[in-house]
Chains A and B, each alone.
Chain A
Amino acid sequence: MAYEDDLAAPAAQGDSSAAVESLFDGHWLTAWRAAYAVTGRSDLADDAAQDAFVNAIRTFASFDRRRPFAPWIAKIAVNRARDLLRAERRRKLAELDEDAEAPGQADASDLLLAVAALPGEQREAVVLHHVLGFTLREVAEIVGTPEGTVSSRIGRGVAVIRQTMEAEHA
């Protein structure tokens, strides 16, 4: 893992505001990027990641503290992002495609545009593994899919990114 999972330790010792603050500092970016991988929109990622953190702190007593915190918060963020995206689509399906914001839309690099263009399941797996540093097993747990499926989604996603990058620079 790229991040310091033992930041959860202070929280395990008393759920103090200091511990909550440490958890937030250590894992906010992970939660937000995981949510963004699902939604592709900053506004929805903001809401999903914030909701995920609030819910995580409220339910921290149920968290198995022998396990790393990062995959847990990422899973909550991914699920919340999916909920928000579904709700958004139900509300304004027709407008969504027009409003959908590719990552870094205004000044996105070819690489980010290639990632944004991936099918959602591939994009989630690629970001969770290659951006956030989760293992294949952790990604499988976060997205609720068998490890083999995750592996193949990542492989296909990276292959498409490579081809896109190569075509852009040909």
Chain B
Amino acid sequence: MPDTDLIERELRQQYPRPSAAATARARAAVMETAPEPSRSARAEARRQWRPVLVGAAIVVALGLAGVGIAAGFGAFEGTPAPPDVSINFKQLNGFANAAVQRGFSLTFPQTDVSKAHGVVEIETPDGPEDLWAAPNNQGGQCYLIDWANDPTLQDGAKYGFNGCEQSPPPASNISINDVWVAGHPDIMTVYGSVYVPAATVQITLDDGSTATLPVIEDLFLGSLPKGAKLDKVVAFDASGNEVAETALRRAS
């Protein structure tokens, strides 16, 4: 007879989750509800560094001793996107269309789904975490971050979260985001883009500790312990010269 702990573990894993489309709709509705006075200035500031999140969430883990670092550097790059990843990108395009139809002032790019491919895979306590990317019609890339072992949603899309590079790039030439998601409650994911040629980024936490991540196709991905607070990010070229730097602007 199965014990309660086993039932609980299995239930948490198997219990249904909202579709990416429902999550995107709810996100848009909820964000429309955000109080206006703070929406304008704060949201504008966030657009400088935080990409659009669509779909279900996830988390990062970087413990300076145990930062999630690219596993098999380059081995994952170029991997063709499987169908569930492509469907997720298609849904991102659908969200962009919906945003236009709803009169959002911020226009979202359209992704070339046929060119979706793997960029980097890192190891996390919850298993491999993948970054997929595809070019968009604004001259940048859109991407999906997911955990390799997470199930495909009922609508056929891969469970994960999306974003797109900014156009034009931010003045700092680095965009970075740290995301915690309910599906992986013990991990915080840190990811972003460098808009000038770069080989690595050095991430500094508010306690002064640092970690270095590779930049692949202008993108980087890392995993931090939950609760880690980012302070700044510095990008370096292949010769070790600093090429860009940004301080994080936190909501609080």
Interface residues of A (CB under 8 A from B): 2-4, 7, 9-10, 13-22, 24-30, 32-33, 36, 42, 45-46, 49-50, 53-54, 57-58, 103-104, 106, 109, 111-112, 115, 126-127, 130-131, 158, 161-162, 165-166
Check B252 against A9 for contact (C-beta < 8 Å): yes
A15 (CB) vs chain B CBs: closest residue: B35
> Complex Cα distance A26/B251, Å?
15
Check A46 against B26 for contact (C-beta < 8 Å): yes
> Complex Cα distance A45/B11, Å?
18
Interface residues of B (CB under 8 A from A): 1-2, 4, 7-8, 10-12, 14-19, 22-23, 25-27, 29-31, 33-35, 38-39, 42-43, 46, 53, 56-57, 154, 179-183, 185, 226, 251-252
Known interface pairs A17-B34, A50-B22, A131-B15; 13 further A-B residue pairs with C-beta atoms within 8 A, sorted by A's residue number: A3-B185, A14-B42, A19-B251, A20-B31, A24-B30, A28-B26, A29-B181, A29-B182, A30-B182, A32-B18, A57-B34, A112-B14, A131-B8
Given that A32-B17, A54-B29 are contacting pairs, would A16 and B182 also be in contact in the complex, using a CB cutoff of 8 Å? no
Give B114 Cβ to nearest chain A Cβ, in Å. 28
A158 (CB) vs chain B CBs: closest residue: B4
B181 (CB) vs chain A CBs: closest residue: A25
Check A18 against B23 for contact (C-beta < 8 Å): no
The 8 listed contacts between A and B (C-beta, < 8 Å) are A9-B252, A14-B42, A15-B35, A15-B38, A16-B39, A28-B26, A36-B15, A53-B26
A2 (CB) vs chain B CBs: closest residue: B185
Check A49 against B154 for contact (C-beta < 8 Å): no
Q: Which of B14, B18, B42 makes the CB contact (< 8 A) with A18?
A: B42
Q: Which of B16, B25, B42, B46 makes the CB contact (< 8 A) with A103?
A: B16
> Complex Cα distance A89/B87, Å?
34
